[in-house]
Structure 1
Amino acid sequence: MVLFGLGATLLDGPVSEGIIHGLKVTAVAIVAHAVWGMARSLCPDRQRAGIALAAVFIVILASGPLGQVVAIVVGGLGGMALCQTHHEVIVHDLPMPVSARVGHMASLVFCALLIGLPLLVWLTPSDIVLVMDAFYRAGALVFGGGHVVLPLLDAEVVESGWVSADEFLTGYGGAQAVPGPLFTFAAYLGAVMAPLGGGLIGAALALLMIFLPGMLLLLAILPHWNRFRRWDNVQALMRGANAAVVGILGAALYHPVWTSAVLGADEFVLALTGFLLLSVWKMPAWIVVIVLAIGGVLITLV
């Protein structure tokens, strides 16, 4: 992803523009497929479908990370009110090789960074602190799957002007062609964004900060995981929050993904082709990336 980010800035000419155009349309197909799959599994009833719809309205009315956090909180509360099952679930305890002391320390570090980094930005707005805060917050607020990082990162790096919308969607499409977690998208963003001049330093810092909160949360929760699995309220909260995540990703599918990539009938047909290749023909994402990149070249040349 770092090499792709460094190379994408050097590409020029109609073929290169077509590949980039195809990658942007690939993002539409991938996100649409993710929304479709998550909606089928996480919103199987009217209650959770309603929570997802409410999350769409919240994100539209309050754009940025704040709107997404509010949507997840409202979704969790809605789940506790509407998604209780009261079915007795047989749970077998899992061995957890993390002590409660380590868990408490990790939770303190997580909260200290989540609260302290914005304060540092306010006190000393250096580029390093700005990048640390943006990517740490994106990694900390992701809930329900890797694709949800898309609207969070868009709010942090595109709305701030660090990365253009075209560069953002190009990198997201390219991230589908490589194995591994979607968080590696941060390496691309760090390599192309304005603060710190991009390059290897920006990529390394972005990658470290987006993975750090998840690691801290894992250490914080593991000592208490067996108890969490037995609480009905926690299960209901998770159902509602997951439904809200579907709404958040659905809103991101429209903006910025659809509005930035689908400019006419040609792009719509190409995006629909990618969606069908993923959902009906079950083709791997990397094959869809190649097919749509070729389609983008054809659209540009013709």
Structure 2
Amino acid sequence: MKSHKTERYFSKLIEILIISTRLGFTSFGGPIAHLGYFHEEYIRKRKWMDEKSYAELVALCQFLPGPASSQVGIGIGVMRAGVLGGIVSFLGFTLPSITALILFALLLQSFNVSEAGWIHGLKIVAVVVVAHAILGMGQKLTPDLSRKAIALFALVASLLWQTAFTQVGIIVLSALIGYFLYKQNHESHTVKSHFPLSRRLAIGCLLLFFSLLIILPFLRELTSSYWIAMFDSFYRSGSLVFGGGHVVLPLLEREFVPSGWISEESFLAGYGAAQAVPGPLFTFAAYLGAVMDGWKGGIIASIAIFLPAFLLILGTLPFWEMLRQNPKIKGALMGVNAAVVGILIAALYYPIWTSSIVSPVDFAFAGILFSMLVFWKLPSWIIVATGTFGGWIISLI
């Protein structure tokens, strides 16, 4: 009996690894696009979470500093197979881009592919995937006029008030609105998500997060160690970033360019390379670390910049589950769910649409890909392959 349970557990881990790795190779388009890919693969196709739980997990990760899409992937993996499932999900999703960017740093720093036609095709795929995710989530999470109004507020505020703390502010205000509008509302169907994490482990992760944030700068000054200084710079950058990967770029530039660890030209070349690979933009750290100290530097930089995100999501999940089951909190979460839809619509327009649909041909191609995904229900990998080939063809026209 025990061996049977062990076999089932390892089969779950293998399943998570295969799916997350496939996503790691094909998820182009930035964090909002990644959430669309996750929604299609994990929620719509495999039903590992219900729509409301997924939206609430997304909202939680918007609160936390770090790469939101990676944290959502970790949370889904934890729900499926515990802490090890979260680790496997994270590795599958990030290792392809980490490996690619280390190779860029070592071999291809002078090769510019950021404007290649096939990259543009993948940006159009991101438009289609996000639009599909929004349609599905919008139908379930904004069924009445009040929640449609909250989504509209989130959409307008996201586009007109673009700061690092915009999403957090929108979610807080939407939670307050939802609390007062729906505090007497009792939804008949509530799905309880299972996150096999103890509160002791969660508290330990939070303590480790804050301890490293405080201790590393002191160790850096006391030891003058190159590796501790590098780890501290990347860890601090990953700990203090709200708003996604693009926000971390100025932090990293301030940490490494003025100090002479990396030249401005190399930094910008790496940023171009980071746009050309799938996965989270935080893997740009792998490129910087590899430029500074080879493949070992790339690995250490990757661990340091993602460690805060990992500790924070493991530290908050058990308490999130407790809160979302509290009847007094459910109304607030209904408002938050609606706000997430509005935030996604805003992100669909800017930066995804504005950087992808730049001509009538692009819009026509997006319509074809959308029809393939939504009406013909073709697998995501076919959409990605078609987008890659079509983008190359469009660049030749």
Question: TM-score with structure 1 length normalisation?
Answer: 0.70
Aligned-pair distance for 1:68?
Answer: 0.9
More off after superposition, 254-263 vs 16-25: 16-25
Which deviations, in whole Å up to 9, do the C-alpha atoms of 1:135-157 show, x marking residues without a partner? 4455xx6xxxxxxxxx6223433
2:155 corresponds to which of 37, 53, 56: 56
1:2 and 2:111 aligned: no
Correspondence for 2:390: 295
- The verdict on how the C-alpha distance between 1:47 and 1:10 changes in structure 2, with shifts beyond 3 A counting, is farther
Task: Judge conservation of contact 1:77–1:237 (CA < 8 Å) in 2.
Answer: yes
- Cα 1:160–1:102 change in 2 (3 A) is closer
For residues 173-192 of structure 1, the aligned pairs below 5 Å read 174-175=278-279, 186-187=282-283, 189-192=284-287
Q: 1:229 to 1:73 in 2, by over 3 A?
A: closer
* 1:235 and 2:338 are equivalent in the alignment: no
Match of 2:123 in 1: 24
**Cα distance, 1:282–1:13 mapped onto 2, change above 3 Å:** same
Q: Structure 1 residues 60, 234: closer, same or farther in 2, change over 3 A?
A: same
- Give the % identical residues: 28
C-alpha contact (below 8 Å) 1:56/1:248 kept by paired residues? yes
Extract unaligned runs of 5+ from structure 1.
142-150, 176-182
Q: What CA distance in whole angstroms lies between the structure 2 residues aligned with 1:206 and 1:261?
A: 28
**Aligned with residue 363 of structure 2, among 268, 271, 275:** 268
Preserved CA contact (<8 Å) 2:127 2:353:
yes
Secondary structure of residue in 1 paired with 2:331: helix
**Per chain length, whose mean CA-contact separation is higher, i.e. which structure has more relative contact order (CA < 8 Å, sep 6+)?**
1
Counterpart of 1:259? 354
How many residues end up aligned between the 2 structures?
271
In structure 2, C-alpha distance between the alignment counterparts of 1:267 and 1:158, rounded to whole Å: 31
2:166 equivalent in structure 1? 67
Two-structure CA RMSD over aligned residues (Å): 4.0
Q: Distance in 2 between matches of 1:198 and 1:237?
A: 47
Matches within 5 A, 1:78-227: 78-84=177-183, 85-87=185-187, 98=198, 100-110=199-209, 129=232, 131-137=234-240, 152-157=244-249, 170-171=276-277, 174-175=278-279, 186-187=282-283, 189-192=284-287, 200=295, 201-202=297-298, 205-206=301-302, 209-210=305-306, 212-222=308-318, 224=319, 227=322
User: Which amino acid counterpart does residue 43 of structure 1 have in structure 2?
Assistant: T
Alpha-carbon spacing, 1:160–1:97, altered in 2? closer, same or farther (3 Å): closer
Inter-partner Cα distance in structure 2 for 1:199 and 1:29: 37
Instruction: Output the amino acid matched with 2:357.
Output: V
Aligned-residue offset at 1:202: 4.5
Counterparts in 2 of 1:48 and 1:20: CA distance versus 1, 3 Å: same
SS of residue matched to 2:165: helix
Q: Is the 8 A contact 1:61 1:67 kept in 2?
A: no
Shift of 1:76: 1.3
